[in-house]
Amino acid sequence: MFYVRTFVIKSTILSLGIAFCLLAQTSLASAHGAPEYPISRQYNCYKHQGQALSECVAAIAFGGAQAIYDWNGVNQAAAAGNHRAVVPDGKLCAGGQEKFKGFDLARSDWDATPWSPNASGRYEP
């Protein structure tokens, strides 16, 4: 009886320790798509449903309206760590995807969020 109780207590402590470690672990972002912060061009146009913002109207006219509804689909799954080759200069906002080409338009009216790294060099909201 003593050995069973000891085993149960040790197992419970070990399980709680593992659970705590998993919950306390921080990780880098592992998502895809356009960010909500700082707000991406795609998400900003989605929030406004492509209306009222001249930059969104121009992006839709150039690239089509479906891109604002697929705002979280900006990704390059096949880049295999070679993102600079897959997403050429000037094509970053579209992620190198034709469907999002309207968001690569160079315009002065796109919203911009000043954003700097913290003391450890990380970008965090």
31-68 pLDDT, tens digit each = 567 788 888 999 999 999 878 899 999 999 999 999 98
Asked if pLDDT for residue 108 goes beyond 70, the answer is: yes
- Tell me whether residue 54 is in a domain: yes
- Tell me whether residue 35 is in a domain: no
Res 26: pLDDT? 52
* 100 DSSP assignment: G
- Tell me whether residue 97 is in a domain: yes
Res 56: pLDDT? 94
- Tell me whether residue 99 is in a domain: yes
- Tell me whether residue 28 is in a domain: no
Instruction: Count how many domains the chain has.
Output: 1
> The domain containing residue 57 runs over which residues?
41-104
Query: 59-88: string of b/e by CB count within 10 Å (b at 16+)?
Result: bbeebeeebbeebbbbeeeeeeeeeeebbe
Q: Which of 122, 123, 118 is nearest to 37 (CA)?
A: 123
* Average pLDDT rounded to a whole number, residues 10-22: 63
* Average pLDDT rounded to a whole number, residues 72-87: 84
Given a contact cutoff of 8 angstroms between Cβ atoms, the answer to whether 23 and 16 are in contact is no
* 74 band by pLDDT with thresholds 50, 70 and 90: confident
Res 18: pLDDT? 67
Res 103: pLDDT? 94
